């Protein structure tokens, strides 16, 4: 039985089918129950990152979810990466908390599960109940979580479509230019990137203010082309399109910097200030501000022909601690009703111009409700941290697999070896690749590695993005990842060298610390091994049930039926 801790009433399942129970949660409150402490190895939840621990009751693992961050799902998995219990909620808009912990008080040996529906004054508590889904089926943990997230999406009215341009390699100006883009240099970069297979570009921060970089958002908000950086912005846009690329442009949706006329104009209509960012955050309960924001985007799209928007910092609204009461100029009482309305208005206005208009969001706003306002979802910033990039990709693929999942932008130094460049790229194999490296400035071998990866990824995109995705061993930050479709399987080994050959055709990339892999399964497959550059270095036939094959770091072994 599940107990309401506010009044000790009990909840009973209204549906129970093959190990999946459904409960009606009537509203704000805290609900708790226990499960046997048996074969529980760890936890998985969207905001968990590298933490897959199972903590004690005084410091539980908790997924706090709300419209602007997280997703309401929590899984306890066993030592074979199978599901012990997965708990999820139908509403990814309201603020909720799902917790799992070891209850060791009073000689108890149980797992304590708690679900809390919170009313924090920012979210409309509508007159509909929330459904809780409890899944105890012994399946792979990533399958039960993905199924739970698909179930969450079933409560949405309509799912947005994913354009083709959301699923192609993307070049970003962020890490290589930061707030100092340069039209001439960036144009040459994009000319080179287009030859290497990149089809979309994001022009990030800095295009909109002249002068020195601020490293924050002090000058962000007046929205003028920085003529010292882009003396002929229309030509820049036309050049990008002439390269066969789509152009997306960055806007930080909530911000008006302290130095801007925009901030002075709307100072009394800011929800709050973020001093360390030196910017105010719009209170979009005012329709005037929503119209101003979306109207700004309309102006730039109509004037210059942008193909998409990178809508950044939507999660900043969630850092608010106090909110002024509604006044007569506002058309919403609660802030996040207004944020949702703003995102709806932006989406409708842009897609009315182009049904394939592109929208990029990033972690941490990953719940089903908010993600249904974008068609590209990127891993949060983790420059040159390939493991964090891989973990973010695994998380987003499991939770938001209906969306085009993008890596954070790749970055490395000019002195890096091409093998290590390839190894960083192998960590993002199962996402749409983004890169932020100065391709016109790096050594030729680094460019060769990028071209090798992009060519391979593009040729195998449907398998990588649309196949059956596996991400076992979360406690080791995913020791391997694989995807399989139509008889072909692609695997990247990260921390284990053994791979089971199960498909007709298999590509196995070695991204481990070893210079070999161990192929298991039915003998008789023929194999060819390539180094990081695509050069063939050996071939043979699998003779035993567990054969060691020399594959260098960053290299590929291709297996096929004889």
Give the pLDDT score at 4: 74
**pLDDT at 479 (0 to 100):** 96
d(CA 123, CA 93) in angstroms, rounded, equals 8
As a whole number of angstroms, the distance between CA 200 and CA 220 comes to: 24
SS3 readout for 400-461: CCCCEEECCCECCCCCCCHHHHHHHHHCCCCCECEECCCCCCCCHHHHHHHHHHHHHHHHCH
Q: Which CATH architecture has domain 168-459?
A: Alpha-Beta Barrel (3.20)
Which residues touch 312 (CB under 8 Å, ≥6 apart)?
A: 250, 251, 252, 253, 362
Phi and psi at residue 350, to the nearest 5°? -75, -45
pLDDT tens-place string over residues 354-366: 999 999 999 999 9
Domain segments of the chain: what residues?
Answer: 2-153, 168-459, 468-560
pLDDT digits (tens, 9 = 90+) for 199-236: 999 999 999 999 989 999 999 999 999 999 999 999 99
Reply yes or no: is the peptide bond before residue 364 cis, omega within 30 of 0: yes
Q: Which residues of the chain have pLDDT under 70?
A: 5-6, 106-107, 121-128
| pLDDT score for 20 | 96
CB of 38 within 8 A of CB of 54? no
Rounded to 10 deg, the angle between the 183-195 and 233-242 helix axes is: 10
Alpha carbons 160 and 420: distance in angstroms, whole number: 37
265: alpha, beta or left? (left if phi > 0; alpha if psi -120 to 50): alpha
Provide the pLDDT for residue 125.
55
pLDDT for 127 equals: 58
Q: What is the pLDDT of residue 263?
A: 97
Query: Would you state the pLDDT for residue 320?
Result: 87
Q: Check if the beta carbon of residue 512 is closer than 8 Å to that of residue 121.
A: no
State residue 121's pLDDT score. Answer: 65
């Amino acid at each position: 039985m599940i107990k309401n801790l506010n009044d000790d009433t009990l909840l009973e399942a209204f549906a129970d089918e093959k190990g999946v129970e459904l409960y009606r949660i009537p509203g704000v409150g805290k609900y708790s129950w226990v499960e046997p402490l048996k074969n529980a190895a760890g936890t998985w939840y969207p905001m968990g990152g590298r933490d897959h621990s199972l903590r004690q009751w005084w410091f539980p693992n908790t997924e706090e979810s709300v419209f602007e961050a997280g997703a309401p799902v929590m899984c306890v998995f066993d030592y074979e990466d199978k599901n012990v219990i997965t708990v999820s909620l139908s509403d990814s808009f309201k603020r909720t908390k799902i917790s799992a912990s070891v209850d060791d008080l009073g000689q108890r040996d149980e797992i304590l599960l708690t679900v809390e529906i919170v009313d924090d004054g920012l979210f409309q508590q509508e007159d509909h109940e929330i459904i809780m889904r409890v899944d105890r089926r012994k399946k792979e943990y990533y399958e039960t979580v993905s199924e739970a997230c698909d179930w969450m999406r079933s409560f949405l009215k309509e799912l947005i479509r994913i354009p083709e341009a959301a699923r192609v390699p993307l070049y970003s100006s962020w890490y290589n230019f930061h707030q100092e883009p340069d039209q001439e240099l960036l144009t040459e970069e994009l000319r080179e990137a287009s030859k290497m297979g990149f089809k979309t570009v994001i022009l990030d921060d800095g295009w909109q203010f002249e002068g020195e970089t601020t490293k924050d958002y002090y000058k962000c908000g007046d929205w003028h082309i920085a003529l010292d950086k882009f003396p002929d912005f229309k030509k820049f846009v036309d050049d990008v399109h002439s390269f066969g690329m789509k152009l997306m442009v960055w806007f930080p949706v909530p911000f008006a910097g302290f130095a801007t006329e925009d901030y002075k104009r709307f100072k009394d209509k800011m929800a709050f200030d973020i001093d360390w960012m030196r910017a105010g955050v719009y209170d979009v309960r005012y329709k005037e501000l929503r119209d101003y924001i979306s109207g700004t985007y309309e102006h730039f799209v109509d004037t210059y022909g942008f193909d998409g928007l990178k809508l950044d910092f939507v999660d900043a609204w969630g850092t608010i601690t106090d909110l002024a009461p509604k006044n007569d100029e506002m058309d919403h009482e609660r802030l996040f009703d207004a944020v949702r309305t703003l995102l709806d208005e932006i989406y409708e206005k842009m897609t009315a111009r182009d049904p394939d208009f592109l929208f990029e969001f990033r972690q941490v706003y990953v719940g089903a409700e908010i993600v249904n306002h974008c068609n590209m979802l990127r891993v949060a910033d983790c420059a040159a941290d390939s493991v964090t990039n891989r973990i973010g990709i695994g998380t987003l693929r499991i939770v938001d697999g209906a969306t085009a999942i993008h890596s954070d932008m790749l970055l490395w130094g000019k002195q890096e070896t091409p093998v290590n460049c390839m190894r960083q790229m192998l960590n993002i194999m199962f996402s749409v690749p983004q890169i932020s490296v100065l391709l016109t400035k790096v050594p030729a071998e680094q460019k060769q590695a990028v071209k090798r990866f992009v060519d391979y990824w593009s040729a195998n995109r449907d398998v990588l993005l649309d196949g059956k995705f596996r991400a076992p061993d979360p406690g080791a930050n995913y020791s391997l990842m694989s995807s399989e479709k139509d008889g072909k399987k692609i695997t990247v080994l990260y921390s284990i060298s053994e791979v089971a050959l199960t498909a007709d055709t298999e590509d196995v990339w070695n991204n481990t610390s070893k210079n070999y892999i161990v192929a298991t399964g039915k003998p008789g497959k023929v194999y060819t091994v390539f180094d990081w550059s695509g050069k063939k270095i050996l071939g043979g036939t699998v003779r035993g049930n567990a054969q060691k094959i020399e594959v260098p770091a960053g290299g590929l072994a291709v297996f096929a039926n004889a």
